[in-house]
Amino acid sequence: MSKLAKIAEAIKARFEERSDLIDGMMTALISKEMLFMLGSPGTAKSDVCTALCSAIGGNYYSWLMGKFTTPEEIFGPLSLKGLESDSYRRVTKNKLPEADIAFLDEIFKGSSAILNTLLPVINERVFFNDGTPTKIPLQTVFGASNEIPQAEELAALYDRFSLRFVVSRMQSDGSATNLFKRIASKTALAPIPTITLAELAKEQEAASKVTIPDAVIDTLVQMRREVDEEGIYVSDRRWVQAIRIVKGYAHYQGATEATMEHLEILKNVLWSTTDQVKLVAKIVNKHTNVLGEKITEITDAVQSILESFKNKEIELAEAHVKFKNANKMLAALGDPKINKKLGREVERMKKMHLEFCRTEFGMEM
C-alpha cells in the first residue's frame, strides 16, 4: 500500500461509515481540488478533517464561520506599521493565506467581503495583500455546511468546490455499536501514518501524468450530454476540474492510466442539489460500473421495503422474505472477497437484515 492508502485506512478505522468521504478527501489532496461536505452538525466532518490533516506535514488552518466573522479572523489583522505608511497590508501568520490545508465550517455564512476574497484564494491560490497578488501554499480547502447555498452571490464560490459529499449520521446499529464499544473501552487505535509535503508533491506530480485514453474521454462527453439532458447544470470549470479529479483518483487507486471504473468518482462531482445525487449516480454507474448500478438498485429496493413496512403497506413476513431475497441477489452479483465495494455492501446488508430481525422478530439469524 502507498503511504496515502495507509493513511486512509488508519482514518477509516476511526470513523464508521466514512470510507467514501475519506477516499474523496485523499483524491482532493492528490488533485489539489476543493471538497465540500453537506451534513448536519455532529456528523464528524471536522473530526475527519483534523485526523487527515494531522497526517500531512505543513500548516493546517480551521475556522467556524458565521455572519459576524471578520476578515481579520480568516486572513489576519492589518499591520499597524503598514497603516503608518498608508499600506493596507495584513499580517497573515497562522491564518488562511499561510495554510497548506484548510477546513472552513459553515463556509457560506461568511460576509461578502470574506467570500469575495476567498475566490482567488481557492481558484488561483493567490491572496491579494494590499493589492499585491501573492502566491500561497494552499493545497486544498475542505468546506462544510448544513445547507446548500441558495443566494446567487454564493454560486461562484460553491462552483469552486468540485468534490461534493453528503455526510449523514450513522445509519447502521452495527456501526454505532462498534463506535460506542471503542469509546467505552478506550480502545487504542494504531497511530495514523504521516506524509511530508515534499512526498505529497511527488504524489501530485505522478497523478498529473496519469493518461486518459480516448475511450474514457468519449464516455465523459457522453456523460456530459446526458447530464445536460436531465437539466443538471455543470459549468465548464467543473468539467475541467473533473479531469484532474479522475487523474487523482486513478493514481490513488494505484493506476497510471484512467479506466472507466475511475470515472466513478464523478458521482461526487456532477450534482449541485440533493435531489440530483441519485440521478447523477445512475448516469455515472451506467457508463462506468454496471455492478455498481445493480448494487444501487438492490439497496434502493431494500430501503423501499423498509419504508413500506414502516408505513404498514406490507406485512412483517413479506418484508422479511423480500429482505432475504434482496440479500441473495446482492451476494449473487460476484465474489465479495475480490470486489471490495460489493463486499462492503454485502456485509452492510447482512447487518441491516440482522438488526431488522432482532427488532421485529426478537431473534438472531
pLDDT value at residue 348 = 79
Amino acid making up residue 24: G
Question: Taking 90 as the threshold, does the pLDDT of residue 147 lie above it?
Answer: yes
pLDDT value at residue 213 = 95
Mean pLDDT of the chain: 89
pLDDT value at residue 363 = 56
User: What are 53's three cell numbers?
Assistant: 490533516
**How far from the centroid of its chain's Cα atoms is residue 172's Cα?**
20
Question: Taking 90 as the threshold, does the pLDDT of residue 72 lie above it?
Answer: yes
Question: Taking 80 as the threshold, does the pLDDT of residue 82 lie above it?
Answer: no
> Tell me: the pLDDT tens digits for 194-205?
999 999 999 999
User: What are 94's three cell numbers?
Assistant: 497562522
* Separation CA 171–CA 303 (nearest Å): 12
* Separation CA 355–CA 365 (nearest Å): 9
> Tell me: the pLDDT tens digits for 330-357?
888 777 776 667 777 778 777 877 777 7
Alpha carbon of 199 to those of 3, 9, 28, 195, 299: distances in Å?
9, 18, 16, 6, 39
Question: Taking 60 as the threshold, does the pLDDT of residue 364 lie above it?
Answer: no
User: Residues 116-131: what's their mean pLDDT?
Assistant: 91
Q: What are 40-47's contacts with CB under 8 Å, separation 24+?
A: 40/146, 40/169, 41/146, 42/169, 43/167, 43/168, 43/169, 44/15, 44/18, 44/167, 45/105, 45/144, 45/167, 46/103, 46/105, 46/144, 47/15
User: Residues 79-97: what's their mean pLDDT?
Assistant: 85
